[in-house]
Structure 1
Amino acid sequence: MRISLDIEGVDDMIKRLERAGKDVEKATTKALRAGARVLAEGMKEEVPVSNIEHLHIRDDIKVRQTPKKERLPGVISYDIGPGKETAWRARFVHDGFVSRNGRFVRGNPFATRAFRLKREAITNAIIREYQKAVR
């Protein structure tokens, strides 16, 4: 599942960075990483946790830059979510599944809910990082 966010005013900040002679790509990378960290914290708050002793999805949520082979040229993006060890379980929790007896078990879309709840905080974190770069 991929989610994108359009923020008004970022283009103006990028133009100011270019005029000031700053490295726009470096500032963009830092800003997006700051927003990704806010979303990761929101996901950790929203994911359900069992009382079973194993690696929980909450403890495995990571922020990783999307590999170059998976992103468009010239685009900076991040993958936020569980690592390989718990990704299969997170998919069942998030999307739901059909049980052995044929009943559908509804999912708990924790990632989508975290994005909706943290959208403003993500935007603020990105803008704050751009403002630091402009100074």
Structure 2
Amino acid sequence: MSPSQTSESVHRFSVCSAEQLRVFATSQTANCLQNQRPRHTSNLHVNKIKKEQVSPEEFCKRKHPELSNVSYQKESSYNGTQFSIDKCQIVCLNEESNKFTVHDAPDNTPCSDKNNIKMCLNKECKIPKNITTFPKRTYYTRS
């Protein structure tokens, strides 16, 4: 890579580095890049997710530990823009200054009063499918 970052060198390899990459990529040794290791996964069920959810109230307290009077607002609006947990937005209100901040709700945050199974996933309020994830224990294999 280029030793200095200028407007011409951003995200570009130097000629020497590019040549080394080309030589490696066309060599027999480059086959190691295509090795696929088996993944050990476990199912992550909705019940387990629900046990580990952080409520929006708790989120606001953790996000703003410097504020003694911070609370969660289910919805709020500013200049015609509506913010709400239904849109996977957490509104934290500083009760002393009456100012609020809006945060993206973390994955697994409950987001619907009408359907207690719905939760935020990638900023969308939806019913999750059972997901496969990696277990806490990590498995290593030798190549």
TM-score range, shorter chain: under 0.3
Greater per-residue helix proportion:
1
TM normalised by structure 2 equals 0.22
Query: Which structure is richer in relative contact order (CA contacts within 8 A, separation 6 or more)?
Result: 1
